[in-house]
């Protein structure tokens, strides 16, 4: 079943996806995720209209009217909602969507009119933004950044004072990095990233995986997201290219695929098996996409998972690589949560590159692109905008095209590049900053682990709620069973039931989460995604407010 509903800024919204399995419903899911112009070209011919399914009929109707459905406002302006790129108008990005906008309105009300709401603050659990929720930065990283930003602190006249405040290894690192970037963080760097930083990333990858890495195959980026977008933009060369994405998925993928006029091809994670990923499901999804006429070029895997928090075991990863080799599909490995591993004895992190290389020369033709970021882990430097991607088995001429795209933006943010350097090259044992670094890093990690366990237990204690534990990442994705009256009330307002629930939660408690429908989900299931980033000392209040709201919501709609 496909639910289509019109919105002023979103003529098509996929509210839910059908269950997996070789069925007409699964084909409908593909059609619902396909770009409108492609869906029109693949819809049955008019002579066969009587045999078309209701979903195809709805898609055909949208394809012929949806891209120009917004009327002119008569202003005479060149840029209007009906004249700008309709792919921009139609795509949605749930983690910064309606919930987040309402949260900002409430935040402003709290500032302007204190005491007018039944809560004192907004708790932004809609996005993995650790420092917004009081996670402290790593001292060494900020010390080096400060020195690089104001190098006069290291001048001969100021160095005696600076040395009393900053450890010697931070001063040495800052001088080294300033020299590598030409003397100023305010200057453009190499478009692919500062060469020294790329060398450090290569050394980090080699130490992590046990296999060599080439700095020339590494691209520094403004966070992982622009790297994903660069790769998708390059891969999607025509209107029938398909990109396999997990369901539930991170909205970056559906949004970017829509912008580049490609087609999202859903494969389903199994909630009953800790959001497990199976090659049988990948094969089903691929087969149906090809039957639909798509050229499937890439498989996106998020490990550890977002929004679902699962971690892949090494056997599963080998099966996925084998699948990509057999089907000639590029593997896109989103590994930004690789240090957020909460069951390291059972499910340690393995990079896809390490597993691929361990499978021997027979797999050298597999094309792999791996992404990492400074925004997650124990670093949480989201606003610095730093990340990288590494190409393995990718044609040199294609890498030249990645470079050309990077050149258009001149260079990634220099401070983001420096944070990447700190991430991959932290203080070493015996250095002046090492003990404090270990203390801070361990403290953040252990606190995240405790909060993940505690919040999962709290969700599982709520009536009608089940929640898999987080094996990794920063999120929980509980399933909520809603009363029929609540479902009907939501539909009456033109909302998905989990959106309705999440908005009510926000208005009552100030807790901002994201409805599962924003990540896509199995039909007739409802979820929400919440980070477990609120400060540990506030968890009692945070959990208590959710519990009180949930009980009241169920009573109201009983």
Question: What integer pLDDT is reported at residue 93 of this predicted model?
Answer: 64
Please give the Cα distance from 532 to 14 (Å, whole number): 27
- Strand 514-515: give its sheet, edge to edge: 475-476, 528-531, 514-515
Please give the Cα distance from 7 to 258 (Å, whole number): 17
SS (HEC) of 356-393: HHHCCHHHCCCCEEEEEECCCCCCCCHHHCCEEEEEEC
Query: What average pLDDT does this structure show over 488-509?
Result: 93
pLDDT digits (tens, 9 = 90+) for 49-70: 333 333 333 222 323 333 444 4
Question: What integer pLDDT is reported at residue 78 of this predicted model?
Answer: 85
**pLDDT tier at 257 (50, 70, 90 boundaries)?**
very high
For 6, 60, 94, 146, 307, the CA distances from 13, given in Å and listed in that order, are 7, 15, 11, 45, 20
pLDDT digits (tens, 9 = 90+) for 439-474: 999 999 999 999 999 999 999 999 999 999 999 999
The SS3 assignment for 33 reads helix
Length of the chain: 558
Question: What integer pLDDT is reported at residue 90 of this predicted model?
Answer: 73
Query: What average pLDDT does this structure show over 145-168?
Result: 94
Largest CA distance in the chain: 85
pLDDT digits (tens, 9 = 90+) for 346-377: 999 999 999 999 999 999 999 999 999 999 98
pLDDT greater than 50 at residue 187: yes
Lowest mean pLDDT segment, chosen from 23-27, 61-65, 176-180, 201-205: 61-65
Question: What integer pLDDT is reported at residue 141 of this predicted model?
Answer: 96
């Amino acid at each position: 079943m496909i639910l289509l509903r019109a919105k002023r800024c979103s003529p098509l919204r996929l509210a839910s996806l059908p269950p997996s399995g070789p069925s007409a419903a699964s084909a409908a899911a593909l059609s619902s995720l396909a770009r409108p112009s492609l869906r029109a070209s693949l819809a049955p011919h008019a002579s066969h209209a009587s045999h078309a399914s209701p979903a195809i009929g709805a898609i055909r109707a949208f394809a012929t009217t949806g891209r120009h459905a917004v009327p002119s406002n008569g202003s005479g302006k060149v840029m209007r909602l009906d004249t700008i790129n309709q792919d921009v108008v139609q795509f949605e990005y749930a983690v910064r969507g309606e919930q987040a906008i309402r949260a900002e309105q409430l935040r402003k009300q709290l500032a302007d009119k204190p005491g007018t709401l039944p809560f004192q603050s907004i708790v932004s659990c809609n996005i993995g933004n650790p420092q917004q929720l009081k996670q402290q930065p790593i001292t060494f990283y900020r010390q080096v950044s400060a020195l690089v930003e104001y190098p006069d602190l290291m001048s001969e006249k100021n160095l005696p004072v600076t040395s009393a405040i900053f450890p010697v290894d931070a001063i040495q690192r800052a001088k080294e990095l300033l020299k590598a970037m030409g003397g100023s963080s305010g200057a453009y760097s190499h478009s692919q990233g500062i060469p020294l930083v790329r060398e450090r990333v290569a050394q980090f990858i080699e130490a992590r995986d046990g296999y060599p890495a080439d700095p020339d195959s590494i691209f520094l980026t403004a966070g992982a997201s622009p790297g994903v977008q660069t790769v998708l933009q390059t891969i999607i060369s025509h209107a029938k290219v398909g990109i396999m994405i997990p369901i539930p998925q991170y909205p970056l993928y559906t949004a970017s695929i829509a912008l580049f006029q490609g087609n999202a091809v859903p494969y389903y994670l199994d909630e009953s098996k800790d959001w497990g990923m199976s090659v049988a499901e990948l094969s089903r999804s691929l087969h149906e996409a090809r039957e639909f006429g798509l050229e499937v070029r890439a498989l996106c895997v998020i490990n550890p998972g977002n929004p679902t928090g699962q971690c892949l075991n090494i056997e599963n990863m080998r099966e996925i690589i084998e699948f990509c080799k057999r089907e000639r599909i590029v593997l896109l490995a989103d590994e930004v949560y690789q240090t957020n591993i909460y069951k390291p004895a059972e499910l340690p992190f393995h990079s896809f590159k390490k597993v691929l290389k361990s499978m021997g020369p027979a797999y050298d033709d597999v094309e792999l692109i791996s992404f990492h970021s400074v925004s997650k882990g124990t670093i949480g430097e989201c606003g610095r905008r730093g990340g990288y991607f590494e190409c393995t088995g990718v044609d040199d001429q294609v890498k030249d095209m990645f470079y050309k795209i990077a050149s258009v933006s001149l260079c990634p943010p220099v401070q983001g590049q420096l944070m990447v350097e700190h991430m991959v090259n932290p203080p070493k044992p015996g250095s002046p900053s090492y003990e404090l670094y270990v203390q801070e890093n361990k403290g953040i990690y252990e606190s995240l682990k405790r909060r993940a366990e505690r919040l999962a237990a709290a969700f599982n204690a709520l009536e009608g709620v089940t929640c898999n534990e987080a094996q990794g990442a920063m999120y929980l994705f509980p399933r909520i069973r809603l009363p029929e009256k609540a479902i009907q009330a939501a539909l009456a307002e033109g909302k998905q039931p989990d959106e309705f629930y999440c908005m009510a939660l926000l208005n009552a408690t100030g807790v901002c989460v994201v409805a599962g429908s924003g990540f896509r989900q199995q039909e007739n299931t409802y979820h929400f995604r919440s980070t477990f980033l609120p400060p540990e000392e506030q968890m009692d209040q945070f959990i208590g407010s959710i519990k009180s709201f949930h009980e009241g919501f169920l009573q109201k709609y009983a």
